[in-house]
Structure 1
């Protein structure tokens, strides 16, 4: 079993040994598991206590459960990782009435991997400094090249941190969770714009698949052509091939979360540059689809919005090929 790196010289931070992890959802659970598997001791928390207990049961020698109201459970962690639904929840968990940051020791680091508004994250970092100036918040949202690779440590992490010592402490932890770690300088911004670009490709793909089928083309074969042509993108290679066209709808990413990200993207684009009509179109179309698909829908169920408007249903395909 791999262990954290050996002790560093006196002029560098000691390596992290104990890690807190809050948020064990579809992304948080596999990421936390990679850390436990690498030999770090984890203190885990989730609103669903059964998920925290499940992780501890799988890694009994390297993990323990923290109660929802016990901030002191994280007082000895070197690094705390958060993976939560939105920035408001992150702020409440860190510096709310029962926030854990006040109990954390000086020199410790918080790595926020959640999907949040970059403006909200900046505000949270400033408030955290007021609450506990000895703790550094590192902004490090997550994306991935292929579906279902988070449990393999194949995530892509975008990292923003102006504190060299904090970044040095966090980097080994980041590299366990991520195959690619990019120090960007503005990372929830990068995550937001990455998701915006992906959503734009999804919108184009939905248009193409519906129009193609109505013209007589096979949707799975269309995707096969795109994947060896200039139309290739993440959705054609991964999520729509494996979960959309198969109608399995189990990508692990909810349509409502993608819609939330698009609203953040529109705010960012409007703040930083000229207003984009495309962001309005994406939000309108995805909101309609989210209402049609219903609560908890997989993001690939966005196609149901196009199907309803066009009065057709895409032909169901096999995951590993056409037909």
Structure 2
């Protein structure tokens, strides 16, 4: 249940970060009837959102008082450092939040950094609760349809109960993984598995074409065989092989996530050559693809190393 109409009408949500993921997630909250106060580094995006959604108001950066009445503040930002700055920096919002407010961080961040942020928040206002709830999706553009998967870390049962209607509105699948930080740990390890499949796919496609196979047909086979994964069914089929490179997820962010995964794995004492290899390969590809590159451009790193460019395929019909 995503909460009654009355509970939604009585709750005000602050939303920070209207990028590729934040905009559709905030839209689902608006469509559900929540009052929103939104902000983005690009003030024009916040204004656009408020114009498209009658129950949303755009706030100016630095206006702490704009969030003084929000019940829940949702952040969707590039990393934990930005989240901490937004909450606790010179113009941090934490000092202006009302007692008992809940902060839901849907960004992809380090669980260790998130716990540190929570400690700093408690020094500003001990009544504030930080929940980590990063997202993933089973298919591209799932966020816009309310089909996101949320991995939740929360150490305060009462705050979690209050936040659940909002979480259930943003996502179709909501998993409470455990205490604060467990959500971010789950997200980074989920992305770790995905990144490992991307490296294997890049190897297979380059080697397959060198052998004489057609990369598009190879992916068609994988998608009805044991090689199937998110990249074969979604991003690489639609944006990698087609060379459109517009999946909406930057290669630099994938690399950032894998560095977090590497640190999480190392913290457990597990000796993993794979985590180091993934970071190394992604870093090399990121240098080749350049700033702002889509994560499907990772294939360009393999192409440069092998001297082979994959055959370009047509955009799939569905």
Q: TM bucket by the smaller chain?
A: over 0.9
Among 29, 41, 50, the alignment partner of 1:47 is 41
Q: TM-score, normalised by structure 2?
A: 0.96
| Cα pair 1:16 1:169 within 8 Å, conserved | no
CA spacing shift, 1:204–1:146, aligned 2, 3 Å: same
| Cα pair 1:4 1:15 within 8 Å, conserved | no
- 2:250 is the alignment partner of 1:266: no
| 1:47-97 Cα shifts (integer Å, max 9, x gaps) | 1001101101101x2011111011111110011000001101101111122
Q: Which position in structure 1 is the counterpart of 2:185? A: 189
Tell me the CA shift for residue 37 of structure 1. Answer: 1.2
CA distance in 1, matches of 2:270, 2:246: 36
CA spacing shift, 1:126–1:42, aligned 2, 3 Å: same
Q: Which position in structure 2 is the counterpart of 1:177? A: 170
Q: TM-score, normalised by structure 1?
A: 0.94
Among 131, 147, 168, the alignment partner of 1:138 is 131
Q: Which position in structure 2 is the counterpart of 1:11? A: none
CA distance in 1, matches of 2:136, 2:269: 24
| 1:167-198 Cα shifts (integer Å, max 9, x gaps) | 11111111111010001011100001001110
CA distance in 1, matches of 2:306, 2:230: 24
> When the two structures are aligned, how many residues end up with a matched partner?
314
Among 212, 215, 227, the alignment partner of 2:223 is 227
| 1:1-33 Cα shifts (integer Å, max 9, x gaps) | xx952567xxxxx98611000011111111111
CA distance in 2, matches of 1:5, 1:52: 27
Q: Which position in structure 2 is the counterpart of 1:96? A: 89
Among 54, 73, 78, the alignment partner of 1:85 is 78
Give structure 1 stretches of 5+ with no counterpart. Answer: 9-13
CA spacing shift, 1:56–1:15, aligned 2, 3 Å: closer
Give structure 2 stretches of 5+ with no counterpart. Answer: none
Tell me the CA shift for residue 148 of structure 1. Answer: 1.1
Question: Which runs of 4 or more aligned residues in structure 1 lie more than 2 Å from their structure 2 counterparts after TM superposition?
Answer: none
CA distance in 2, matches of 1:212, 1:252: 27
CA distance in 2, matches of 1:219, 1:273: 38
Among 188, 200, 205, the alignment partner of 1:204 is 200
Q: Secondary structure at the match of 2:166?
A: helix
Among 60, 72, 87, the alignment partner of 1:67 is 60
Q: Which position in structure 2 is the counterpart of 1:243? A: 239
Q: Which position in structure 2 is the counterpart of 1:5? A: 4
| Cα pair 2:9 2:35 within 8 Å, conserved | no
Among 279, 283, 300, the alignment partner of 2:279 is 283
**1:213-224 residue pairs with structure 2 within 5 A?**
213-224=209-220
Q: Which position in structure 1 is the counterpart of 2:25? A: 31
Q: What is the Cα-based RMSD across aligned positions, in Å?
A: 1.6
Q: Which position in structure 1 is the counterpart of 2:311? A: 315
Tell me the CA shift for residue 275 of structure 1. Answer: 2.5
| 1:221-253 Cα shifts (integer Å, max 9, x gaps) | 101111111111111111101110111100000
Among 150, 158, 164, the alignment partner of 2:151 is 158
Q: Which position in structure 1 is the counterpart of 2:161? A: 168
